[in-house]
Amino acid sequence: MQEVEELCDRIAFLKSEEIITIDTPASLKSKYSESFEIKLLIDKHFKAKLNELEKLKYVKNLKIHENENFLEVIIVITPESTATSNIFTNLKGIPIHDLIVKKISLEDVYLKLLGE
């Protein structure tokens, strides 16, 4: 699907020989995106600061996994335009050792539309 996204201006998804949707890759992802993930790796002693994130309206889910030295934090947020910047405003002063933002892919859209 990565190649499709890079090479195609418009994409059609078919189901039982019928077109169920046709649009640009960006528009399809925007239309069918309900959330995306932000994964962070931070020092353990900042755990209390994370409680503030759970109270934010655009945070759908917050998971914290502890290992010996760090906290792996997975934040699922709504695709509101200000959500990401507000997350990082609330994380001000916390050193981030690693950061991954996972947005919806065309493959996610395909699976969502076809229910597979």
CA–CA distances in Å: residue 100 to residues 14, 29, 55, 73, 78: 32, 18, 22, 10, 16
Tell me the percentage of the chain whose pLDDT exceeds 70.
98
Which candidate, 62, 57, 65, places its Cα nearest to that of 76? 62
CA–CA distances in Å: residue 84 to residues 12, 15, 29, 49, 58: 30, 34, 17, 17, 9
- Report the 10 Å Cβ neighbour count for 7: 8
Say what the pLDDT of residue 75 is: 92
68 vs 66: CA distance, rounded Å: 7
Q: What is the pTM of this model?
A: 0.69
Say what the pLDDT of residue 10 is: 94
Say what the pLDDT of residue 116 is: 60
38 vs 19: CA distance, rounded Å: 33
Query: pLDDT of the chain along its 116 residues, tens only?
Result: 788 888 999 999 998 899 999 999 888 888 887 788 899 999 998 888 888 888 888 898 999 999 888 999 999 988 777 888 888 888 899 999 999 988 888 888 888 888 76
Say what the pLDDT of residue 47 is: 87
38 vs 72: CA distance, rounded Å: 10
Which candidate, 69, 72, 71, 78, places its Cα nearest to that of 39? 72
Q: Is 29 helix (H, G, I), strand (E, B) or coil?
A: helix
Say what the pLDDT of residue 32 is: 80
